[in-house]
Structure 1
Amino acid sequence: MRGQTPPDFGILTDRAFQKLYQNPEDCISYSQTLLISDKTPEHKIILRKIISQAYAMQGNYVQSVTISHQKDDDSTNEKLSAFAQLYGDYNLADQYQNLGLYGQSKKIIAGILTDPKLLINKNTKVRMTLAKLYQLQAINSGVNRNFKLALEDLDKSDIYLDSKNEENTIIKQENIIFRANFLMRLNKPEEAKKLLDKVTNEIISNGKSTFLIAFAYESTSRYFFLKEDYKTAISYLEKGYSKIEDLPYNDMKIIYYDLFSKNYLAVNNDERYHNYNNLYTNLKTKLDANKKEGIQYIVKLVETYNKKNFEFQEQKKIRQLRNTTIIVLFFILGISGYFLYGSRRSKDLKKQLAFFEKQIERERSMQLHAEKVRDDIKKEKDQKNTEKEASKVSKEKEDEILQKLEEWEMSANFLNKNMSISILSAQTEVNTKYLSEVINSNKGKNFNAYINELRIDHIASLLKKDPAFLNYKVSYLAEYSGFSSHGAFTNVFKSITGMSPNQYIQEIIKNKRS
């Protein structure tokens, strides 16, 4: 009796991807079962990525990084297919984005999408990965407030979503929701609302994606918040939250808690505001700590990978040189044997043998010399690096760091309460010594003063542009801006603007009335 044919791997991963949007714990359990039984390196990379995404949705960024970079004992660089390498790069870009390292994520994606041959590849798996890369790039553009570019990236993502499976459907629906959010930021709320209504009906009729329903309702609540219809906004939040309340989508829940607290503050419901604000603060503290640990972990992993890759290349060169030497040696011995057999008494034979022995000796000498040169170059490079670290930042390097800081300032990562110069170093890929030196010399202040000024400028701008912020209490504004306390926020605000937050708000209200 013939055994049943096992399901196609594409069908299995499609199921795993569906479970990712239904319940991350079920997704992890199901995907790990597939991972144990599947021996194909390429399949393992895809399954680990799905598991990694499930952990990220739970807010467990350390485990997300760990599983996605897990390697098999027998895996080597030489075994990776072109697709596996592409998928690995996509995975790293996604990890960076999950950890808030948007600059690094953007850089990796930009490097991948410059390959014209890749962009016209007809392989289904490659096109699916390109769709995800463009979606990631759209999110990166949105974080940097370049919403027009973000919409263009989503258009490109949609072009590659041409396969008829559940994963393509989910990514398309996600793209529509992201598009609606970007349109709202471009002051096109009605256009955004039409998209949200349509995609919400599609998701509900499909009935398979709990996460997407919550995402759609959360985005719709933002529309009503902009319209200052806070009660309707709250009703959408309640409908959306009921879908994920008993599921571990902590990365989504923290957004809900934040939106709940803003809306209840706007309707002056202090009890519910404090309740959700406490939930938000506690979960944010927990996730920020995990994210910080994840950043430190991924930095170490990337450094280790680069080091191992360098060692692998060096060993490969040595093996190639050794193989060449062996081939030459056998060639020499063969010729020597021929001459010995053909004319044992020939006087020229000694000369030939001496000549070939010199060649072998020269080959050995060259190998030893090459190794010595490599060691000398490495020592010289280490010495130069040491000297470079000790010296001041060059003008070119300073300009490069200032450009990175300018891009970083657009991300609003400075609102993170746990922001430190080490986190800024990881996010900009600049060492802390250089950062400190450039901030001091160009900004005229130390790191803490620099971050605080960015926070105050940001909240002052929001108070002017978004009327809803005028209704918030100073304690919420302090929390939103990343300050540890109401008092610290007020003191810094006054030192920068010359007036207290309440005075500043009253001035704005007075100017609007006049």
Structure 2
Amino acid sequence: MKLYYFIILLFLSITSISAMEASFQIKIESDSIKSSSLKNKSFEALNSLFWKNRNDTILIKKIALIYLSKAKRKKNYIQIANAYRIFYELNKKKPNDALKYTDSMIAIPKDVKDIRHPALGHLLKGLILYRNEQYDKALESYLQSQKYAEISNNLSIIIALKHNITLLKTALGKDHEALNAYKENFAFLLSQDTTKRFRQHYLATLYKLSDSYNRLKLYDSANFYLKKGIKSSLSGEHTYYYPDLLCAYGVNSFYRKKYNTALDSLQKAMVLLKENTQDANVRITYLYLAKTLLKIGKEQRAVGYLKRVDTLIHESNYMLENREVFTLLIDHYKKDKDQGNQLKTMEKLIRLDSISNIKNNLLNNHIIKNYDTASLVKEKNQLIKRITYQNKVGLKTEYLLFTLSGIIIMFIFAFLYYNQNRRNRKTQEIPPEDLKQLHKKKATTTSNIDLAPELKQKIFVKLERFEKNHEYLKNNLTLTSVSKSLKTNSTYLSKFINLEKKKNFVNYINDLRIDYCTKQIEENKKFRQYSIKSMAQEVGFNNIQSFAKAFFKKKHCNPAEYVKRTKNQQL
């Protein structure tokens, strides 16, 4: 049940992995649990036993074999897929083997109506590819998983996919975009069960949130989430992401100049991570151990760690955050006048940078084309559906309102006619001199509504500053709140906008926002990549519907069309 149940496998494709299964053929003895008792257990019971006994290697291999054998015998393709999910868990640290099991999970027969398992298979495949720095292929797998997950509305996988695709943006150095995505995920997870069902997602998000804050040099914010993550990780049965959180805490402590704390955290992380030298955090841990040791004057130990991580970095796993390993080594060799190693290290760095640039450009284009743009198109289509629905509902509502309005107007006319007759009768009873005084008061009240020239000038100057400072981009603006901020009367402000701007307050604010938005679309390439929802929030709207309606009113097209038109014009 981890990322919950897991799917599918061609009964006919078993030959491709028979060699691996053979490697798990062990002599079943009556040690902790007898083979006969395992064979009589249900799939659910076997699955539960597997997850509860993760540390008993012999037992879980036994469970995996019995589970698969039972599923094959019953020709239950969904349970065969679950069995391969278990075999995937047993082989996570053997990428080639693990990939074959994910492929088997994906290969579901067409007549089996279950799409949860292909979604999971593609997700796990993408995860293995990501860990091996095959980012472009990882993205392809994630996008395939997304198709299945959205059809079945598999919330767990959808959250994991968003998280993992954001990891790719982090790899490209898009730290602001990544942080926003992690914050959205975190906000959603806070409304879910983070103690059991989504605990692993919650801890992963805490880790990446803190990592993003570290990258953006917001070290106090990073420290807050790191402490929260470490405490949460240690409080559960499984200490998910504890080594990664320790590594990030060490990095954070280094930048906060707490070098003893950094050294302690990084050394603990290294002990927990060293089993898997393919883990990117192993390289980060070695690098920051070296940097910390340099800060406290232990250069020789530092250089030892730098040389160690140098041997772990190659063309397929090089990342820009590892670049400092080589620049520090180059400085060391330069200082020692070791020109041979200095040149060798420089040549390696140049080669790695060149390959990294090509790889990252391909990934960047792929993400924009197949994920960001796809999300934008999907959001656009959803918006069109909502608008179409609202229009249909609107027509019915308008008809009903028209009928009701007619009835109400008839009552109003009757009421006004009755009141007018009453007033006429009362007026006839008022003495002539009192009647003159009453008309004089009415005339005075009406003339007082006009704005004095000096008052007009003051409001003009204040509104000009309001527009220049883009204060109209704030959320939840009202006539009253703007009047208070401008230190003027709401009646005067409303009248000024009506007279000078030839529009009411709401249209005035909306037009300013849409003008700002279109300018950003035309001039800001990053802004053009935002989703419609993000654009709306950025310019002060609380929801997509009001944004789209205001945009169409001003520009006679929807935001997505305007973005597309702008892109075409700039080609």
Task: Give the TM bin, normalised by the shorter chain.
Answer: 0.5 to 0.7
Q: Is the 8 A contact 1:218 1:237 kept in 2?
A: yes
**CA 308–279 in structure 1, closer or farther in 2 if over 3 Å, else same:** same
Shift of 1:213: 4.5
Partner deviation per Cα, 1:199-245 (whole Å, 9 max, x = no partner): 333445xx355535444333322222323433322212333444x36
**CA 131–313 in structure 1, closer or farther in 2 if over 3 Å, else same:** same
**CA 71–263 in structure 1, closer or farther in 2 if over 3 Å, else same:** same
Distance 1:273 1:81 in 2: 52
**CA 396–279 in structure 1, closer or farther in 2 if over 3 Å, else same:** farther
2:140 aligns to what?
66
Q: 1:279 aligns with which of 348, 361, 364?
A: 348
Q: Is the 8 A contact 1:24 1:248 kept in 2?
A: no
Distance 1:99 1:115 in 2: 25
Structure-to-structure mapping, 1:284-433, within 5 angstroms:
284-300=353-369, 301-311=371-381, 314=384, 395=468, 425-426=525-526, 429=529
Q: Is the 8 A contact 1:56 1:98 kept in 2?
A: no
Shift of 1:32: 3.4
2:56 aligns to what?
none
Distance 2:213 2:200 in 1: 20
2:329 aligns to what?
260
2:181 aligns to what?
108
Q: Is the 8 A contact 2:85 2:101 kept in 1?
A: no
Partner deviation per Cα, 1:58-100 (whole Å, 9 max, x = no partner): 4443323222112587x47452133233223323322221221
Q: Is 2:217 the partner of 1:136?
A: no
1:250 aligns to what?
318
Distance 2:305 2:316 in 1: 20
1:375 aligns to what?
none
Q: Is 2:259 the partner of 1:189?
A: yes
1:155 aligns to what?
227
**Aligned-residue identity in percent:** 10
Q: Is 2:250 the partner of 1:180?
A: yes
Distance 2:175 2:96 in 1: 27
**CA 54–281 in structure 1, closer or farther in 2 if over 3 Å, else same:** farther
Q: 1:32 aligns with which of 91, 103, 110?
A: 103
**CA 314–48 in structure 1, closer or farther in 2 if over 3 Å, else same:** same
Secondary structure of the residue aligned to 1:123 is coil
Distance 1:287 1:194 in 2: 32
Range moving further from structure 2, 226-235 or 181-190? 226-235
AA of the residue aligned to 2:183 = A
Distance 1:72 1:229 in 2: 49
**CA 247–128 in structure 1, closer or farther in 2 if over 3 Å, else same:** farther
Shift of 1:135: 1.1
- How many correspondences in the alignment? 331
Q: Is the 8 A contact 2:315 2:352 kept in 1?
A: no
Distance 1:238 1:30 in 2: 36
**CA 314–429 in structure 1, closer or farther in 2 if over 3 Å, else same:** closer
Shift of 1:187: 0.8
Shift of 1:131: 1.0
**CA 72–58 in structure 1, closer or farther in 2 if over 3 Å, else same:** closer
Q: Is the 8 A contact 1:131 1:156 kept in 2?
A: no
Q: Is the 8 A contact 1:147 1:186 kept in 2?
A: yes
Distance 2:108 2:318 in 1: 30
Q: Is the 8 A contact 1:138 1:153 kept in 2?
A: yes
Distance 1:189 1:200 in 2: 16
AA of the residue aligned to 2:341 = R
Distance 1:189 1:428 in 2: 42
AA of the residue aligned to 1:269 = D
Range moving further from structure 2, 62-71 or 282-291? 62-71
Shift of 1:116: 7.1
Secondary structure of the residue aligned to 1:250 is coil
Distance 2:108 2:204 in 1: 27
Structure 2 unaligned runs (5+)? 1-38, 41-68, 72-79, 400-466, 474-521, 532-571
Shift of 1:192: 1.2
2:440 aligns to what?
none
Structure 1 unaligned runs (5+)? 325-358, 363-393, 401-421, 432-514
**CA 314–58 in structure 1, closer or farther in 2 if over 3 Å, else same:** same
Distance 2:322 2:385 in 1: 48
Distance 1:12 1:259 in 2: 42
**CA 287–15 in structure 1, closer or farther in 2 if over 3 Å, else same:** farther
Q: Is the 8 A contact 1:295 1:426 kept in 2?
A: no
Q: Is the 8 A contact 1:138 1:150 kept in 2?
A: yes
AA of the residue aligned to 1:66 = E
Shift of 1:397: 6.7
Q: 1:234 aligns with which of 303, 310, 313?
A: 303
Q: Is the 8 A contact 2:105 2:117 kept in 1?
A: no
Q: Is the 8 A contact 1:154 1:175 kept in 2?
A: yes
Distance 2:472 2:167 in 1: 28
What TM-score results when the alignment is normalised by the length of structure 1? 0.53
What TM-score results when the alignment is normalised by the length of structure 2? 0.49
Distance 2:390 2:87 in 1: 41
Distance 1:266 1:288 in 2: 29
Shift of 1:13: 5.7
**CA 91–180 in structure 1, closer or farther in 2 if over 3 Å, else same:** same
* Bigger Rg over Cα: 2
Secondary structure of the residue aligned to 2:144 is coil
Structure-to-structure mapping, 1:86-101, within 5 angstroms:
86-101=159-174
Secondary structure of the residue aligned to 2:107 is helix
Q: Is the 8 A contact 2:222 2:252 kept in 1?
A: yes
Distance 1:266 1:27 in 2: 45
Secondary structure of the residue aligned to 1:121 is coil
Partner deviation per Cα, 1:241-299 (whole Å, 9 max, x = no partner): 44x36894333865543443343334342321221122112212211222122222212
Shift of 1:156: 2.6
Q: Is the 8 A contact 1:24 1:54 kept in 2?
A: yes
